[in-house]
Copies of this chain bind each other. A is one copy, B any other.
Amino acid sequence: MSNTKALPMLEPEAVAPCCPPLTERPLTAEEAERTAKMFKALGDPVRLRLFSLVASHEGGEACVCDISDVGVSQPTVSHHLKKLREAGLLTSERRGTWVYYKVAPSVLAAMGQLLTAAD
């Protein structure tokens, strides 16, 4: 088999939006397993900053080329963006030289809903 240059940007094993507000009922083990991955991905200060950089960037997407001021090297930025993608928080698309990341909107909404206090 020959190596192809255009690597497909595979979506991670589906991290589907999940679960009612945490105040509504206890999560099942399976729900917690799935959801904890997303929280864990945001549980690192550099990743959290990168996520907010992408989320607040013009047009709702950013590439490594847009990110220069988080105090870590570009390979490290790429590594963390990949982790965020694997957690289902970002989606990615290659355009020319760069991979562009954007927030997976339904996931953000689902996480926000999880943290909604029940009335």
Q: Considering the complex, which residues of chain A in the window 81-119 have a beta carbon less than 8 Å from any beta carbon of chain B?
A: 103, 105, 108-109, 111-112, 115-118
Collect the chain B residues with CB atoms within 8 Å of residue A23's CB.
52, 55-56, 60, 103, 108
Chain A 26-39 interface mask (CB, 8 Å, partner B; 1/0): 11010011011101
Assembly CA distance A23 to B43 (angstroms): 17
Determine whether A15 belongs to the interface, using a CB cutoff of 8 Å to chain B: no
Q: Considering the complex, which residues of chain A in the window 25-82 have a beta carbon less than 8 Å from any beta carbon of chain B?
A: 25-27, 29, 32-33, 35-37, 39-49, 51-53, 55-56, 60, 70-71
The secondary-structure label for the interface of chain A is helix
> Within the complex, which residue of B52, B109, B117 is in contact with A32, where a contact is CB–CB below 8 Å?
B52
Collect the chain B residues with CB atoms within 8 Å of residue A70's CB.
29
Q: Check A22/B109 contact, CB under 8 A, given A40-B43, A46-B32, A71-B29.
A: no
9 contacts between A and B (CB under 8 A): A22-B51, A24-B56, A26-B52, A29-B49, A36-B47, A39-B42, A39-B48, A43-B43, A108-B117
